[in-house]
Amino acid sequence: MARVTASFITSAAGAGGFPKEELPEIAFVGRSNVGKSTLINSLVKATVARTSAAPGKTRLANFYRLHRDGDTPFFLVDLPGYGYARGGRETAAEFNLLADAYFNRAGREGFSPVRGALLLVDSRHPGLDADRRAWEWLESTGVEHAVLATKLDKLTRAERQRHLRELEAHHQGPVLPLSAVSGEGLDELWKLIASLLRRPPLPP
């Protein structure tokens, strides 16, 4: 088992707060409460991200520095949850501003530091409008992206088959099934992240 070191670097409300150090980045995007912070902790087998049963806690872009033996160090960036019903339109606007600033920035030599965006969707609720809009939006950014289906442990075997098929149809491509509780999919997620980090950087 490869050793992982992970630390929280900073929280940013906008472009001015992003870290000065430049590393390749992988972004986690997803509705509030979908399990972004929990998945970060599961990946690194430590508690580096704050999690909560009450949605809407993460309002800033949180940067974590991850380094797995043998791989490139990178920032894993937890973007604030969007589509939180009670936050309504205001939260969506906040997310969009921050996300635009995040995805549209150029680093050294004019390349974007963002190598991939992973959209987390709750496997219990395939095809939510907010998730489909987020997916369309990610397609428009030009950044490599994929879907992670969270909380698989909450589904029955029959639901699992049906929901994963539905998700694949909605997002037109493979969906990686995950559970932070059982650990299912974590090895595959590390492989996916490593392959995104190997891709050449692109302009924003």
Residues 40-79 that bind Mg ion (CB under 5 A): 58
One of 35, 126, 177, 185 touching ligand GTP (CB under 6 A): 35
58 versus 179: smaller Cβ distance to Mg ion: 58
138 Cβ neighbours under 8 A, 6+ residues apart: 29, 117, 119, 145
**Collapsed DSSP state (helix, strand, coil) of residue 127:** coil
Q: Which stretch binds ligand GTP (CB under 6 A): 8-16, 26-34, 133-141, 168-176?
A: 26-34
Q: Please pick, from the candidates 23, 32, 68, 189, the single residue that binds ligand GTP as defined by CB under 6 A.
A: 32
* Neighbour-count burial for 78-116, b at 16+ CB within 10 Å, e otherwise: bbbbbbbeebeeebeebbeebbebbbeeebeeebbbbbb
164 φ, ψ (degrees, to nearest 5): -65, -40
CB of residue 200 vs ligand GTP: minimum separation in angstroms? Answer: 30
Indicate the residue among 112 and 163 with the shorter CB distance to ligand GTP: 163
Q: Return residues touching ligand GTP (CB under 6 A).
A: 30, 32-38, 51-53, 55-58, 81, 150-151, 153-154, 179-181
